[in-house]
Structures are given as C-alpha cells and as structure tokens.
Copies of this chain bind each other. A is one copy, B any other.
Amino acid sequence: MSKPVITIDMGGTMIKIGIIKENILISSVSINADSGNGLRVRLPHIEKAVKEALARQQLSFKDMAGLGIASPGIVDSHQKKILSIDKKFGDAPDINLEEWCWQAFGLPFTIENDARAALLGEWKYGRAKDYDNVVLMSLGTGVGTAAVVEGNLLKGKHFTAGILGGHFVINYKGTICNCGNKGCVETEASTWKLPSIAGENKAYSESKLKSLPSVDYKAVFQLAKEGDLAAAEIREQSLQAWAACAISLIHAYDPEMLLLTGGIMGSGSSIVPYIRNQTEKHAWTPWGNVKVETAVFPDSAALYGMAYLVSNINK
C-alpha cells in the first residue's frame, strides 16, 4: 500500500489543494490565487490550507509520501525549479520551493508543468489509459499543451518540449504575444487576451459584451447563441484558432488521441464537436482519425498526475 500524497495545482485564479490516496482524490479545497501579488505571499496560506486538509482527514505529515506542485510555465523537474512563468506569479523562479516544502511539512518535493501533469493524470488513470501517443490541449487563461510520444512524456532538453503548443504560430502576420512571439494561438484565442480581442471587434460597440464588468468565454458563448454579432464572430475565430492549434499538435506529435480540457470547455458545448470535425477534415492522418475526447478528470487531472510523480519518483 502506497502512502497518500499532497498535490497542489497552481492555477492563475485558484490554487487547488488535494489529497490523493490509493489513486483516489479523497479531499480537495481551492484557495484564491491572488496571483497579481506573486507566489511568496500565498505560501503561508497554502501551508495553512494543506495542514487543515490533512487534519480533516486525520492524517499527519509522516503518513504522507510527499508533496507535488503542478505549476504553469516552464518547470525544471530535475532541479525542482520554476524557470519561466507569467508575470502573475513572477516571483516564483526566485523561490526555493523544495526548501519551503521541507521546512513547512518535512516532506519530499516534486514539481512539474501543469499541462504535463494533467496529461500524466489522464494517461495513467483517465481517458488515455490505453494509449501511448496522446496530446492534451487545455483551454483556459492560456492554452496549455503536453504530449506523450511512443510512451514517453516529452520534456526536452530545456523542459519546453510539448508544453508550448499555445505558442505555436498560427497567424504569422499577427500581433505580439505575452511570450514575445508573434501570432501565437494564445494571442488569437485565450481568456487573458479575450478583453482586447473583444474590444477590437468591429461590432463591439453594439454588443452586450460591452456592458459586462469583464468579458469571459462563458459570456461569449452565451451571447453568441443569443445572436450577438461580436460574440458570434469571436466564438468563430476562437474555434478556428483552437482547431488550428489542434491540427498543428497532431502534425507535431502524431497522437492517437487529443484530449481537450481546461476552464473554457464548460462554456461551449460546440468546442469538442467543432475541433473533432476540423481535425478529421484537415489533419494529415492517412491512417485514420485522431480521437478527440474530453478528460475523465477535467478539474483534477493535474493533481492525479502529480500524485503519480510523487509516488513513482524513486521507483
């Protein structure tokens, strides 16, 4: 019997904390990421939430195998460091998280990119269990991706292989992305870019989007359904951009299955059928069609992936 694991998914909006025991998420709680102020100020809150979660399960640190964090950005999983991350958690690369983990809990520490962790969770325990060639595309604040090729979770020399699909160029005459590149998938369709995409739409001044305190994809899909012109155009462009990303991922990694996940997935029921249709029509796969599927653990795949890593790190 393997020891339970503390797992943390460091999202841009919420930080999710879970306890996984015998491959089951027995407890989870989310705290506000408050990520505009960086990660360091959130660490005491994370520590408190972890301790409370353990207490609720009547578990103590010595019962646990370790703690694993799924983080956005580029993560050096060997040195256990965040190398590069969006400015919201801009101080993270300067924090020694392994030391924090040891001092706070006395536990061994593991860290991995969040999309890679989510794919690992679905690959080991979820939708992709029977496949050795899978890509994941997570639609949310950004567009996260990861790839398993011939049974290997791609990491690459500098830990960026597989995870930068959201920064594939899909509009080479496009605008500059947060990452410094031009015309990335994320600059064409992602939650962080959505307000400026909406503001630049020709029909925006006539759109109900204008009256909202903040524009998100839930509103875009809802208003598009109601006939709002700007919302319909943004929905169409976003679906096209995500389909282009999916096709490039298929062309890059030759998967049997494309897993779609992330916060936006709940907003539009048309996303999966649209991407399935486009990949079947346009991806160069003379052997047949890539299965386009949703995650078994849409909210917790990264937690499962980290549990797998913590439990198997020394095997």
A83: B residues at CB distance < 8 A: 286-287
Q: Which residue of B lies closest to A168 (CB)?
A: B248
State which residues 151-169 of A face B: CB under 8 Å.
Answer: 152, 154-162, 164-165, 167-169
- A132 is contacted by which of B133, B157, B159, B244 (Cβ under 8 Å)? B157
Interface presence of A150 (CB below 8 A): yes
Is B165 a contact partner of A252 (Cβ separation < 8 A)? yes
State which of B74, B181, B188, B254 has its C-beta within 8 Å of the C-beta of A157: B254
Residue of B149, B156, B173, B253 near A171 (CB, 8 A) is: B173
Quick check: B244 and A282 within 8 Å, CB to CB? no
State in angstroms the CA–CA spacing of A285 and B179 once bound together: 10
Whether A252 and B161, one on each chain, are in contact in the complex, defined by CB atoms closer than 8 angstroms, is yes
Instruction: Kindly state the separation between the CA atoms of A245 and B254 in the bound complex, as whole angstroms.
Output: 17
Name the residue of chain B whose CB is nearest to the CB of A166: B251
Give A residues with C-beta under 8 Å from B: 74, 83-84, 132-133, 149-150, 152, 154-162, 164-165, 167-173, 179-183, 188, 240-241, 243-245, 247-248, 251-256, 281-287
Chain B residues near A181: list those with CB within 8 A. Answer: 247, 251, 282-284
State whether A252 and B173 are in contact (beta carbons under 8 Å apart), knowing that A149-B156, A181-B282, A285-B158 are contacts in the complex.
no
**For A171, what are the chain B residues with a Cβ–Cβ distance below 8 Å?**
170-173
Give the Cβ gap from A167 to chain B, nearest Cβ, in Å.
Answer: 5
Which residues of the other chain, B, contact A158 by a CB distance below 8 angstroms? 254, 285-287
Write out the residue numbers on chain B whose beta carbons fall within 8 Å of the beta carbon of A180.
281-282, 284
Determine the chain B residues whose CB is within 8 A of the CB of A170 once the complex forms.
169-172, 183
A188 touches B172 (CB 8 A): yes
Given A168-B252, A180-B281, A180-B282, A161 contacting B173 (CB threshold 8 A) = no
CB distance from A74 to the nearest CB of B (A): 6
- Residues from chain B with a CB closer than 8 A to the CB of A247 are 169, 181
A167 engages B255 (CB within 8 Å): no
The residues of B that contact A157 with a CB separation of less than 8 Å are 132-133, 150, 254-256
Tell me the bound Cα distance from A167 to B286 in angstroms.
14
Q: How far is the CA of A238 from the CA of B287 in the complex (A)?
A: 31
